[in-house]
Structure 1
Amino acid sequence: MVDRKLAEGIVRENVPQPGRASSKLAASELAQRLSEYAFLLDIDGTLLDLAPTPREVWVPPDLAETLSCLHDRTSGALALVSGRSLNDIDLIFAPEQFPAVGGHGAEMRISGDSEAVATHAPPMDKELKRRLAAIAKLSPGILLEDKGYSLALHYRLAPHAEKAIYAAVSLIRAELPNAPIEVLPGKCVCEIKQSGFDKATGVRELMTHQPFRGRRPIFIGDDVTDESVFAIMPDLGGLAFSVGRRAQGVIDHFDEPRDVRAWLAGLIDGEAGARR
């Protein structure tokens, strides 16, 4: 659990290595050294509380302001890292537009005012997508979300359908063993995407570009799809935090998204205090 000391204590200098005790990361000290860090943030379940459907998420009014301030004070080294498409991310945070890795690494935007680019990710085969989409007809309450590079079957409103959904996906995969796809289990969602890219490949690519290059990344995520990024943080000299659980490879965790939002707001307050 990340307690108040996370926002008020001291930053430990060394990046934790496997087998070493985890360290706390404190907003008050970190705020004075924002130029050294890049902030990479998952959205659903990390910045925002989960909702019955993806369209029902609520963005607290002060969150966009916090992200905008942190983006400015890191000279642009803040990016949203999500399974959502870049277009969907922009709709959620409109009118703000941030650097982002979208579609589980399929899309990327280096700066808020740059053009979005695909990171060598081909769109999913139309016939395969059609067959997977038909799974949504198994039960009322299954919500189909077409992300272009992936397809998500949300069953938060039909939790009884979980086993049937995964069984149907497994059957299609068995019938098409050469189809280059991966299944991403999440929180009441089964997502199927093209293989060959994920959030980790997107983050690695992002970190080769300015203003991210040469900075120490701090990644915060909550779900299974974030574990690939947790795993590469040591390679990048970075720090990983999970939300809701202590995931493998992280140095600490937050209990809820509101704790993440409070911590990020504390960075802004601490940086403003340091300039006085």
Structure 2
Amino acid sequence: MRMDATRPAPPETAPEDPILLTDPIIIPSLEDCALLLDVDGTLLELAPTPSEVVVPPDLRTAMDSLLQRTGGALALVSGRSIRDLDMIFAPAKFPAVGGHGAEMRLTPGGSVTSSKIQPIDPDLKRRFAKIAELDPGILLEDKGYSLALHFRQAPQAEQAIYDAVSTIRAELSEAPLEVLPGKSVCEIKPSGFNKASGVRELMQFSPFKGRVPVFLGDDVTDETVFAIMPDLQGHAFSVGRLAKGVTGHFKDPSHVRAWLTQLLGREEIIAL
């Protein structure tokens, strides 16, 4: 990324050139944008288990400042529940789209509204949960609206997990279910909602309405949001890889955090 004399230099501890752009662009000031941020693999490094992620103190400080600069138009967009996000970022309670679009909070610390989509049938959920018995390293996470089978500590079980999920799905071909492959995780959720549907809904309400959405994500589940950014006249950035249709990409979460800190010292988000 070309730097000019009007931009403040990044902090000495920040990675150089945190963002790689596909084309020269201009994104408006923070006051005109809505910052939409995935969490795991985007803001934070992945951990052996979901509960072991670490939020650097300077990230909380930067997000608090960005929330003020955007007039409240900063939201976390995650497969995690909003309750889980609040535990991770405590004491902050940021606006959020949680549960892959199943729930939403529009204001910091405000009320959480849930989708009318029915959760997975309890008996069916138990069938999927038993897959965790294939290997002691598989971690089962019940997110309410979805069920996640983490195999970061049992990579040898990946194929067996997906085979078992496919067997259940074949027996219930009419069931409204969706399988989400992720980074060392297989997630099962009801169909009919995703991160993209959650973001579309979020952008209909103040303070997000009428702003330019800027979304950052890393995983397959974030690709639905990448795809709708042109419809919303927004921009998408991928993390860890150059995904199809994005405006640019970041090497890893540390580069994302450095960029967020740099935003606080700029008139525009990006101007090349």
Normalised to the residue count of structure 1, the TM-score between the two structures is 0.88
Query: What's 1:143 paired with?
Result: 139
SS in 2 for 1:270: coil
d(CA) in 2 for partners of 1:56 and 1:178?
A: 37
Query: For 2:242, which of 246, 249, 258 is the aligned residue?
Result: 246
Query: For 2:93, which of 88, 91, 97 is the aligned residue?
Result: 97
Query: For 2:33, which of 26, 33, 37 is the aligned residue?
Result: 37
Letter in 1 for 2:71: S
Structure 2 portions without partners, runs of 5+ = 9-21, 268-272
Query: For 2:206, which of 206, 210, 214 is the aligned residue?
Result: 210
Kept after mapping to 1: 8 A contact 2:181/2:187: yes
Sequence identity percentage:
63
Query: What's 1:59 paired with?
Result: 55
Structure 1 residue 240, shift from structure 2 partner: 0.3
Kept after mapping to 2: 8 A contact 1:106/1:121: yes
Structure 1 residue 119, shift from structure 2 partner: 2.4
Query: What's 1:229 paired with?
Result: 225
Letter in 2 for 1:41: L
Letter in 2 for 1:96: A
Structure 1 residue 268, shift from structure 2 partner: 1.3
**Which structure ranks higher in relative contact order (CA pairs < 8 Å, sequence separation ≥ 6)?**
2
Structure 1 portions without partners, runs of 5+ = 10-20, 272-276
Q: Does 1:69 align with 2:65?
A: yes
Structure 1 residue 105, shift from structure 2 partner: 0.3
Q: How does 1:1-276 map to 2 (within 5 A)?
A: 3=1, 5=3, 8=7, 22-24=23-25, 33-270=29-266
Structure 1 residue 123, shift from structure 2 partner: 1.3
SS in 1 for 2:216: strand
d(CA) in 1 for partners of 2:265 and 2:170?
A: 54
SS in 1 for 2:264: helix
Kept after mapping to 2: 8 A contact 1:124/1:194: yes
SS in 1 for 2:159: helix
Kept after mapping to 1: 8 A contact 2:7/2:266: no
CA RMSD of aligned residues (A): 1.7
Closer, same or farther in 2 for the Cα pair 1:163/1:222, shift >3 Å? same
Kept after mapping to 2: 8 A contact 1:48/1:58: yes
d(CA) in 1 for partners of 2:206 and 2:227?
A: 22
CA displacement, residues 24-82 of structure 1 (integer Å, 9 cap, x when unaligned): 568xxx5xx21110000000000000111101101001101111110011110000000
Number of aligned residues: 253
Query: What's 1:14 paired with?
Result: none
Structure 1 residue 113, shift from structure 2 partner: 2.5
Kept after mapping to 2: 8 A contact 1:241/1:250: yes
- The structure carrying a bigger helix percent of its residues is 1
Structure 1 residue 173, shift from structure 2 partner: 0.4
Normalised to the residue count of structure 2, the TM-score between the two structures is 0.90
Kept after mapping to 2: 8 A contact 1:136/1:142: yes
Structure 1 residue 270, shift from structure 2 partner: 2.8
